[in-house]
A and B are shown apart, each in its own frame.
Chain A
Amino acid sequence: MSVTKTIITDLVSTLCYGNLMGSYDAAEVSRLYDEVILALAQDPRRWFTTAAITDTGVVDGGATPLDYTNREYYQLPATLNLAKVVALFFQGRQLSRENEQTLRQQNLDWESDIGTPLAFVTDQRSDRFVRFYPKNDKATQADDDTAVVVVYTRSLMTTGIPDMLALPIALLVLAREFERESPHRDKDFAEACRALGTNYLSYIA
Chain B
Amino acid sequence: MAGETLVSLRTEISKRVRDPLNTAHDSDTVDALLSYCQQLTNAATSAARAALFTGSGTPTLPFISLASLGIRVSEVRIGHDNPSSLAALPLRRIDWRVLAAEDPLWLGREAAWPTCWDLMGQDLLLLWPRWRVPFTIYMTRLNDQPLTTTTFLPAEHVPMLLAMTESVLLLRQRLFASMPASAKREQQIRQGLAFP
A-B pairs with beta carbons under 8 Å apart, 18 shown: A2-B70, A11-B32, A14-B32, A47-B121, A47-B122, A48-B67, A48-B121, A50-B67, A50-B123, A51-B65, A92-B107, A92-B108, A93-B105, A94-B104, A166-B36, A203-B40, A203-B190, A204-B44
Contacting residues, chain B, for A204 (C-beta < 8 A): 40, 43-44, 72
Which residues A25-80 have CB closer than 8 A to chain B?
45-51, 53
Listed in ascending order, the chain A residues whose CB lies under 8 Å from chain B are 1-2, 11, 14-18, 20, 45-51, 53, 86-87, 89, 92-94, 118, 146, 149, 151, 153, 160-164, 166-168, 171, 188-189, 192-193, 196, 199-200, 203-205
Interface of B is mostly: helix
Contact of A203 among B25, B104, B123, B195 (CB under 8 A): B195
Which residues B167-186 have CB closer than 8 A to chain A?
167-168, 171-174, 176, 179, 183
Listed in ascending order, the chain B residues whose CB lies under 8 Å from chain A are 24-25, 29, 32-33, 36-37, 39-40, 42-44, 60-61, 63, 65-72, 96, 100, 104-108, 120-124, 142, 144, 164, 167-168, 171-174, 176, 179, 183, 190, 195
Give Cα distance in the complex from A2 to B70, angstroms.
6
Give Cα distance in the complex from A17 to B61, angstroms.
47
Q: How far is the CB of B196 from chain A (nearest CB, A)?
A: 9
